Structure 1
Amino acid sequence: MTGDGGHAGRPLWVDLVIIALAFVVFVTLLLLGNWQMRRLEWKLDLTEAVETRAYGDPVSVEGLVQPPEYLRVVADGTWRHDLALRVKAVTELGAGSWVMTPLEGADRTVWVNRGFVPSGLDPTEWTRPEGPVEVTGLVRESRPGGTLLESNDPEAGRWVSADIPEMSRTAGINAARYFIDADHQGEPAAWPRGGLTKLEFRNTHLSYALTWYAMAALFLGAMAYVIRQRVRKSGVVEEQ
């Protein structure tokens, strides 16, 4: 017979701690499921934005203060190749960089991602159009700071994300706070290789959410069974 209400001599507080920890695990599984549902909503909104903006007729950037991301736009100006920066990238073409170049227009300057160049490619092999040009592409938002694993180092000229305000500060220009992912220009084999914006997004958030919710339900059922067995066995011990 146990006098402290525990099971087989185990103190009651131990059971309470186990139950508390089990509750934390259960809540965590639910929160993970809820997070995946929020990610699902975000992914669906992103897909809708791409479908409604990216494939329409391009609109002029003139007069657009902060156009929505993935809007197809057209901009006129002259390239500032002397201020071009390279942003680390990995694409279907391999490892390399995006060539970010200011496009200086009559009313505004906007950074343009001219496209991808592979590592080791001599810059003399890049195309460098001179004079007035017209660029068509997709609006993209600034990517401040860097990536999850790496940070931008403007002073060292090391860029892993297109942090537009910092790039403008480094280049000493006043430019729009967004940039344009340009369509490919020139011969098909020319570098930089534009038109590589990812417009199809893998969406597995619903299946992940259902998995987390199923795990939570199974865990709750298992804990209910364990608690029931503990209570039943404790009753038997008390009767003895």
Structure 2
Amino acid sequence: MSHPTDDAARREALPARGLLLPALAALAAFLILVGLGTWQLERRAWKEDLLARVEARVHAAPEPVPPSAAWPHLTREADEYRRVRARGTFDHARETLVYTVRGEDAAGPLKGQGFLVVTPLLRPDGPPLLVNRGFVPLGLRDAATRVAGQVSGEVEVVGLLRFPEEASWFVPANDPARDSFYRMDPVGIAAARGLAAAPFIIDQEAGAVPGHLPAGGGTRLAFPNRHLEYALTWYGLAAALVAVAAAFLWTRRGRRPG
């Protein structure tokens, strides 16, 4: 015959065992949410450091384009948005038009659909460089409609060193066979034009281009920085989970068998 004290202990243990798995699941979820919030704070610190470095680079005095021997060692973190300069002659016959849409927040008066004009800069002292000379509207894709901007002779280009655009589900892949380009892919563009050019592109600064086209200086330097908002969201979810778990345990406590 069982003792009344033993029966009471078993009744107390049954609810405790039933709460073990939910409690462990809630703890795991809580730790994950807190971890995600902390990760977002770390990303925020990284983004702010990146913004500070980019701001310093774009306002620095222009440096010579890195020599070809250094190209394999360039990295986004250390070199993108460096302000550089180079001299050479534009090869307008092999320009490439990269489709783009300039929103209302874009610099300059030109908005809407159009193309970025990427032109090889032939140099006497090194391999060609691909230069993003700037934006032209859809109706001016034909170079014959903007002859004044097809400058000849040796020029000096000053601009920002840019790496290839990363692939995105929202941007179609380039189709060189149809001469259709949607992403800044210097290696692919150079190959399509029969060039062995640099693995980066120079975004030319705005300047006194005859006819004002292409319109340079349109590099976007806006980097979304909503990491604090995301961190607070994750921490808020963690706090809500704690509140729900506490309410659940309180409810179960009130339903204990007598």
TM-score, normalised via structure 1 length: 0.81
2:61 corresponds to which letter in structure 1?
Answer: D
Deviations 1:96-144 (A, max 9, x none): 2211111111112111111111223342233211121111101111224
> Is residue 2:101 matched to residue 1:79?
no
Q: How far did 1:202 drift?
A: 4.2
**Bigger Rg, which one:** 2
1:110 pairs, out of 129, 140, 145, with 129
Structure 2 unmatched runs, 5+: 1-9
Q: How far did 1:27 drift?
A: 4.5
Alignment of structure 1 residues 209-224 onto 2, 5 Å: 209-224=231-246
Aligned position for 2:34: 30
Q: How far did 1:85 drift?
A: 1.5
1:105 corresponds to which letter in structure 2?
Answer: R
Aligned position for 2:208: 186
TM-score, normalised via structure 2 length: 0.76
- Say if 1:122 and 1:167 are closer, same or farther in 2 by CA, change over 3 A: closer
Aligned position for 1:233: 254
Q: How far did 1:23 drift?
A: 4.9
Deviations 1:202-232 (A, max 9, x none): 43322321232122122223213313432x1
SS at match of 1:120: helix
2:100 corresponds to which letter in structure 1?
Answer: A
- Say if 1:151 and 1:23 are closer, same or farther in 2 by CA, change over 3 A: farther
Please give the alpha-carbon distance, in whole angstroms, between the structure 2 residues aligned to 1:156 and 1:32: 44
Q: How far did 1:31 drift?
A: 4.4
Please give the alpha-carbon distance, in whole angstroms, between the structure 2 residues aligned to 1:94 and 1:32: 38
Structure 1 unmatched runs, 5+: none
Question: Does the CA contact (< 8 Å) of 1:88 and 1:159 recur in 2?
Answer: yes
Please give the alpha-carbon distance, in whole angstroms, between the structure 2 residues aligned to 1:222 and 1:115: 55
CA RMSD of aligned residues (A): 2.9
Please give the alpha-carbon distance, in whole angstroms, between the structure 2 residues aligned to 1:117 and 1:214: 46
> Is residue 2:165 matched to residue 1:143?
yes
